Structure 1
C-alpha cells in the first residue's frame, strides 16, 4: 500500500474519447472530468435534457446485468456497459470523476480496459485532501445460482480468483488468481478483451444486444475456431477478461475492496447479487481508512 493510496484521487484534467457501443451500435462520445473529493463516480447523459440526467454509481443503481452492467436513475435514464471503465478507475485509484456520455452506452473501444487506462494516463491524476475509503470484508459472503458460485472473503489485500469453462476448445477450462494492484492490472488484466460466439449473435441482436460487436472490439468464436486475425493477448485471455469485468462490477460499491473475490462460472449478474448480499449484511463489512492520522468517522 503506497502513501498515495491513502488519499482520494481525481483527474488532473478532462479525458475524451469516442467509439461505438457494443450493444447499441451507436457512435458515442465520452468525457471523463475531475470531480470534488467524496463525489464518487457519477455518469451524466449529456444527450438527455428533459429529466434528471445524472446517475451516481452504486450497487442499487445497477438495473440490468445481461452481458454488461447497466446503471439507471429514478427518472429512467441509463448508461450501459460501464464495467471496463469502472475497472480502470478502480485499478488506477481514481475515486471521484464525472463521466459524460452522449448516448446510452460507454464505447466498447477494443473490448478491453486498456484504452481507458491509456485515456486516464493522458489526463493524469490529482491527489485530493480527503482520505480514501475502502470496503473491508470482515466475514465470508457467498451466493450461488446452480453451478455458479461467487464469494467475498476476508483478506489483507484485494485478490481476484476466477474459474470459467466453455465447450469451445479455444477456451476450455481456465483460471486466474492474483492480487490486484495497479501494476498487476496494467500488466495482466487491462488488455484482456471481451468475447462471444457467432452462433449467438442473431438472437442477441433481436434482443437489442451485440449490434455494435465486431472483430475490432471482441474475440469472436465459431465453435472451436477463433475468427480474429490478431492472436490472443494472453493464453488465458478469456478468464482474465472475466476477472477484469468483476473488478469493475465490484467498484459500483463506491470504494475499492480489501478482501478476496472468488467465483466459479460467474458473470455480471452473479457479481451484482454478491455485491448486494455483502451490502445487506452489516456484520460482514465496514468502511475504513488506512492511516490513523487521516481517519474520519464513517
Structure 2
C-alpha cells in the first residue's frame, strides 16, 4: 500500500528543464483524471530520482523525497511559477501548486501558487474519490494501482469480494462499480474505512452491498468465513506496519487461509509493493502455503510509473483457485 522507496542519489538542478518539459507534455494529454505526471523514482531520469509530480485535477502536487540544496529548490519553485502563468495551466483550470517535503516528519507542504484545497474530489476511470492532501504522506489513493482498480472493476460482476487491508476502499469502489454482489472490507484503521464509506457515497453506491470491518485481519478469520465464500479476494498490504504487519513474515499467514475463503475457481489479486521483495517471494509463498491457488498472470503497471527495474515496482499478481478433487 505504501509507495515504493528507493535509495537514491542527490538531485541536479540542471536536469529540471526535462522535468518541466515532461509534465507539460503529460498534462496536455491527460484525460482530466487524477494521475501521476512525473515519476523520478523509477530512476529513468538522472538527477531527478527523488522527485514526483501528481495532477489532482486543478492542483499540482510536487513531492521531494530527500532534502535538496537551495539552488535546486529555487529553480524548481521558479519553474512552477512559470507553469502557473502558461496558457496550458489556464486551459487545464489549474488553481494551486504545492511542494510536499516527504523526507521530513509530518511531510510538511509549501504552497507555491494559489490556495490549496485539502479535500478535493477527483476522478479515475469514471469513479470518484475524496483525497486528503497536504497533511499526510498518503493522500487516500495509490496512483500506481490505477490498472489494478480497473482490473477489479472489469472482473467483479456478480462476485462476492473480500478486500483485505482495504484502506480507503478503492478496490471496493471499483468492485461495486463493476457489478459485484457484495464487498467485505477489512482494515484496522477505522478512520480510513470511514473515508471508504464516503468514497462509495460519492459514487452513489448501495451501502447495503458493502461491509466495513475495522478489525485485525489475523483475529477475524472466523468472521470473514461467515461472509464467504468469495469469488474474488484482494490482498494489498503495507510493506510494514509497526506492531501489526511485516510483509515477509506475515504474508504467508494470509495465503494459507485462502482455501477456506475462496469459492471454486475464485480469483486472488495479490500485491507486493516493496522494492526489496520480488515477485518470486509471492509466487513461492503461494506455492508453499496454498498450492491449489495457481498463478495466472501479472498486471501491467501504469506507463506513467515506468521503472528501470520491474521487480522494484509494484507487483500485482492474479491467481485462481483450483480446488483439489
Same fold, TM exceeding 0.5?
no
Q: Which has the higher strand share?
A: 1
For CA contacts below 8 A with separation 6 or more, give which structure has more relative contact order: 1
Which one has the largest radius of gyration?
A: 2
State TM-score, norm by structure 2: 0.27
State TM-score, norm by structure 1: 0.29
Q: Which has the higher helix share?
A: 2
